[in-house]
Structure 1
Amino acid sequence: MNALARIAREEWRLWARSRVVLVAALIVAVLVAATSVLTALRVSEEASARAARQASAEETFFAQPDRHPHRMVHYGHYAFRTPPPLAAFDPGVDAVTGQSIFLEGHRQNTAMFADTRAGADLGGFAALTPANLYQLLLPLLLIIIGHGMVLRERESGTLAVMLAQGQSGLAIAGGKALALAGVAGLFLLPLAMLAAYSVAMGEAPLAAALMVAGYALYLAVWGALVLAVSLLVRQRSVALGLLVFAWLLIALVVPRIGINAGSAGVDAPGKIESDLVMLAEQRKLGDGHNAADPAFDALQKQVLEQYEAASVEELPINWRGVVAGFSETKLTDLMNDYAERRMQAEAAQSRIVTWFGLASPTLAVGAVSRTLAGTDLATHHRFLRESEALRFDFVQGLNDLHATALTYADDAARSSDPEAEQRTRVNAASWRLLDTFRFAPDPAEARAARAALPLALMLGWLLVLGGVIFAGARGLRP
């Protein structure tokens, strides 16, 4: 047995006698099990409710009788997003953004049915989850267990004996690091089990494996910090105080500073504010419900020339439906422009927060965790874009029916002529234009690519702390 293994074995024997690691492991196991069960039950309950709502919404929508197509444009429908399996470990932004959205003509609605609306921290600490425990509690337990690893040897006089027997400072530090790595590995077992379960539930193995690797890297950073302080400080009370202060700063203070810096650095107006600003531009587009609006004069001239008609009554298509489709296109372009600006601003805020991972590995591992779980801001934005594409395609499909399946004369007279009103109703089978919407998480490779930066930030932390440990171990004295 080499020197590193012997030193690590003796450290574990000491911890076994004091039962400190056993108690810490039990605390982790109980808390992770409890939060995992509660989170899984909540996610399962939400999934069941969401599936029931989706089935009910689709049944009600497709059961609508023959109607005027524009009536169905305003009737609307729901799109639902089912979180991926790893969301049971880290719900991410889902707690504040919602997973359902109501689709209707002429509007882009916000996502609904979120647990809370206090979401300025892009996912933060809205609820106690297994991810929160790994990010906040486990570093504290590593501090409690390992802050005196080298200091205990110095205080008892065994450090001088070990050095006199020819043990190098690097070997002593390596053995202590190996012992602490064993503790971190023990703490990772519940996460590994959760990851395996998520794979059984359909999660990509790459995403689950990277989730475990990301938290292993995070715990390695904290273990390196604990060992570095134990090497450099000569009093156990001072080491414990410094490490607890570092935990408060890294895990609690810097994340809040990063969030505030993101909000202050990039102005990201909310949906309501964007809609109010957009109203003035929206009025210039004309009213799609009024085919005689002057805003459509140029379009009318173009269509009349295209079909060589003298008036809209002579057109082979319904002028009202043409106006409805044209108006929806222009309005959607305007709404998408504002939505993209808002999402780009939110993404810029998120990037600022991620770069604060230079000062806090807790922020870095949080970004990794949400990204790999498929519950990050980028996934929410993709849901908004895909549901908007679904909304637009459906509305335009109905507008095409309005233009081709109804005559202009019947459409103009339907409010006063009951027979004309009957002729403007299209077959209910047309509602099948709305595709069944099933939102899937990004491929594991795409999620891994987005997680590369925060993973690199944590790796940078580990390399810097490794250098500090190397320097401290080489200069180790009794």
Structure 2
Amino acid sequence: MRTILLVAADEWRFWRRSRLAMLALGLLLVLVAASATLTALRVANEAEARALLQSEAEETYRSQPDRHPHRMVHYGHYVFRTPPPLAMIDPGVDPVTGQSIFLEGHRQNAAMFADAKTGATAGQLADMSPAVVLSLFAPLLLIAMGYSVMTRERENGTLGPLLAQGVSPLTLIAGKGLALASVAGLTLLPLVLTAAVAISKGETLAATAVFLGSFSLYLLVWCALIIAVSSLSARRASSLTILVVVWILLVLIVPRIAANVAASVAPAQGKIEADFAVLNELRSMGDGHNAADPAFEQLKANLLLQYDVASVEDLPVNFRGIVAETAEADLTAVLNRFAEERMATEVRQVSLLRSFGWISPALALREASMTSAGTGVEAHHKFLRDAEAVRFDFVQGLNRVHAEQLAYADDIKRSSDPEAERRTRVSSENWKVLEDFHFVPPPSDTRVEGALAPLARLGAWFALLFGLVLFSARGLKL
């Protein structure tokens, strides 16, 4: 062990004498620290702003005066997705997906107010978060500092004397690898500090450990690759060329190919096409604003039979409210089916993209990072489902008020009779059917479990490259 530490210390002495190496290391540390600070401040400000807007939206809704309940259905309400604590390191899909939804009756609106409308692969390039900086540039720093760790000894003629003095090839490689891994550890320090802040804001230790572990394993993969290539290469120039080409392939080209393949294999339906498909199906369901629509004849017959009365005027409930409630339930079932189909397509695309993690460790890291942080597509889909549950509950709550508190005779005359219109205004106390909304990302256990698969891919990469390192050690001879 002492020899390994001596080799690592000697490598650090070489790097300290190299202004370029120290400058590169310093620049990356500054870039990671700056991106961590700026991203943390931005996410914190966004979280505070969204929480405030959510509170204001709820207060505004509940402070509306006495009205007809169906007017409040159309008045609508906003819900906001607040970012989870680890979003200050990896915002995930947040910059490219909507962060708020306007909820109203008879429709499911899309999420709005994304920071940038870009594709899935450009999402992490839209802002230089610490996760982006580390996944893209930390490997380049390791390459710049480590491409010659073994070839330098060979070219300088010091490899033979070292081996002749009894330093085994594995000990020499272990010392060089320890030095390179310590560089990787330094680049992770800003992440560790930021993760500590995330824990103080409520993130769990398990999710944070998996999150940081994914970045650590990713950088160890690159350390192993660099050591192996440097050990197998005869010259520094060839080692540097090979490593830069591999970086371009694994970090830039393969993710782009993966995105194109995912979009081709699991194509998503266009918005116009999807909207027409929804409208075609909704046309046959009847207009919930028109209680005389033939689509509700069977509903009327069933109610008359249930309450044993001759006409809707004799019903103990407002038939127009019952129609509104029934129509909303049927319409929501259709909208939810199309929404689930759209989300299933997105999941298929993401799954195909993630499967390329066997080819690119950068993609495996991206999956592990966003999943454990709660900023991936799963969290976005949870927000959509949670928002829809709020929408449906408050709309149906108002429809029940419509059915139970308004007289049918007043309801049908309210447009022509001022007194009937006054009597169809219900107390604003009924607006309390709207529940407080605070988005909660998927549970820590779910996120940790979801990150196991990409961690396994990173582990497989490391095992393969570690085997290559052991193989390369056999070629180091006197």
Shorter-chain-normalised TM-score: which range? over 0.9
Aligned to 2:103, the other structure's residue is in SS state: strand
Q: Secondary structure at the match of 1:425?
A: coil
Distance apart, 1:274 and its partner CA: 1.9
Say whether residues 1:169 and 2:169 are aligned partners.
yes
The structural deviation recorded for 1:271 is: 4.6
Q: Please give the residue correspondences for 1:320-339 in structure 2 after superposition, counting only pairs within 5 Å.
A: 320-339=320-339
What amino acid sits opposite 1:414 in the alignment? R
Distance across 1 between alignment mates of 2:271 and 2:106? 15
Identity of aligned residues (%): 54
Deviation at 1:209, TM superposition (A): 1.9
Between the aligned partners of 2:33 and 2:154, the Cα distance in structure 1 is 38
Find the residue that maps to 1:111 and give its secondary structure: coil
2:405 is matched with: 405
Deviates more, 1:431-440 or 1:24-33: 24-33
Q: Matches of 1:25 and 1:398 in 2, distance apart?
A: 61
> Deviation of residue 284 (structure 1)?
0.7
Name the CA shift for 1:83/1:249 in 2 (closer, same or farther; >3 Å): same
Alignment of 1:215-234 (within 5 A): 215-234=215-234
Larger deviation, residues 430-439 vs 160-169? 160-169
In 2: Cα distance, 1:39 partner to 1:270 partner: 33
Q: Distance in 1 between matches of 2:452 and 2:444?
A: 12
Deviates more, 1:203-212 or 1:278-287: 203-212
Query: How far 1:186 sits from its partner (Å)?
Result: 1.3
Whole-Å Cα distance in 2 between the matches of residues 459 and 269 of structure 1?
36
Aligned CA RMSD, in angstroms, stands at: 1.4
Correspondences of 1:72-471 after superposition (within 5 Å): 72-121=72-121, 123-471=123-471
Asked whether the equivalents of residues 122 and 377 of structure 1 are also in contact (C-alpha less than 8 Å), the reply is no
Tell me which amino acid in the other structure corresponds to 2:7.
Answer: I
- Secondary structure of the structure 1 residue equivalent to 2:160: helix
Are 2:46 and 2:82, in contact at CA under 8 Å, matched by a contact in 1? Answer: no
Cα offset for 1:122? 7.4
Deviations 1:297-320 (A, max 9, x none): 121111111111222111111110
Q: Distance in 2 between matches of 1:444 and 1:122?
A: 27
The CA distance in 2 between the partners of 1:200 and 1:41, in whole Å, is: 15
State the partner residue of 2:66. Answer: 66
CA distance in 1, matches of 2:35, 2:302: 63
CA distance in 2, matches of 1:423, 1:166: 99
Say how many residue pairs are matched: 478
Q: Which moved more, 1:344-353 or 1:29-38?
A: 29-38
Normalised by the length of structure 2, the TM-score is 0.97
Contact kept, 8 Å, 2:214 with 2:369, in 1: the verdict is yes
| 2:18 matches 1:14 | no
Q: What is the CA-CA distance between 1:364 and the residue it aligns to? A: 0.9
**Does the C-alpha gap of structure 1 residues 120 and 275 become closer, same or farther in structure 2, counting only changes over 3 Å?**
same
- Partner Cα separation in structure 2 for residue 23 and residue 208 of structure 1: 30
Instruction: Report the secondary structure of 1:119's partner residue.
Output: coil
Aligned-pair distance for 1:275? 2.0
**Is the contact between residue 32 and residue 187 of structure 2 (CA under 8 Å) also seen in structure 1?**
no
**Residue number in structure 2 paired with 1:34:** 34
Deviations 1:40-81 (A, max 9, x none): 232233234323322332222111111111000000000111
86-95 or 24-33: which moved more?
24-33
Once residues 182 and 345 of structure 1 are traced to their aligned partners in structure 2, the CA distance between those partners, rounded to angstroms, is 42
Whether contact under 8 Å (1:93, 1:119) holds in the other structure is no
Check whether the contact 1:78–1:102 (CA below 8 A) recurs between aligned residues. yes
User: How far has the Cα of 1:276 moved from its partner?
Assistant: 2.0
CA deviation after TM superposition for structure 1 residue 20, in Å:
5.0
- Give, in angstroms, the shift of residue 19 of structure 1: 4.7
> What's 1:54 paired with?
54
Query: Quick check: 2:21–2:144 contact (8 Å CA) kept in 1?
Result: no
AA aligned to 2:210 is L
Runs of at least 5 residues in structure 2 that lack an aligned partner in the other structure: none
Secondary structure at 1:451 match in 2: helix
Specify the SS of the correspondent of 1:286.
coil
What is the distance in 2 between the residues matched to 1:231 and 1:417? Answer: 91
Contact 1:286 / 1:296 at 8 angstroms: preserved in 2?
yes
Give the stretch that moved more between structures: 338-347 or 361-370: 361-370
What whole-Å deviation, never above 9, does each CA across 1:336-395 have from its counterpart, x for those lacking one?
Answer: 000000001101100111111111111111111111221110000000001101100110
Name the SS for the 2:109 alignment partner.
Answer: strand
5+ long unaligned stretches in structure 1:
none
**What's the TM-score, normalizing by structure 1?**
0.97
Deviation at 1:27, TM superposition (A): 1.3
Partner of 1:45: 45
Does the CA-based 8 Å contact 1:270-1:342 persist in structure 2? no
1:110–1:271 CA contact under 8 A, matched in 2: no
Answering whether residue 448 of structure 2 is matched by residue 474 of structure 1, we say no
**Aligned-partner Cα distance in 2 for 1:361–1:56:** 43
SS at match of 1:143: helix
Residues 54, 437 of structure 2: 8 Å contact kept: no
Contact 1:96 1:115 in 2 (8 A): yes
Q: Secondary structure at the match of 1:102?
A: strand
How far apart are the structure 1 equivalents of 2:22 and 2:209?
Answer: 26
Q: Aligned partner of 1:227: which letter?
A: I
Q: For each residue in 1:117-166, what CA deviation from the matched residue of structure 2 results, as whole angstroms up to 9, or x when unmatched? A: 11333733111111110000100000000000010110111111122223
CA contact (8 A) 2:177 2:224 kept: yes
Q: Is the 8 A contact 1:21 1:183 kept in 2?
A: no
Moved more, 44-53 or 33-42: 44-53
Return the alpha-carbon distance in structure 2 between the equivalents of residues 386 and 52 of structure 1: 19
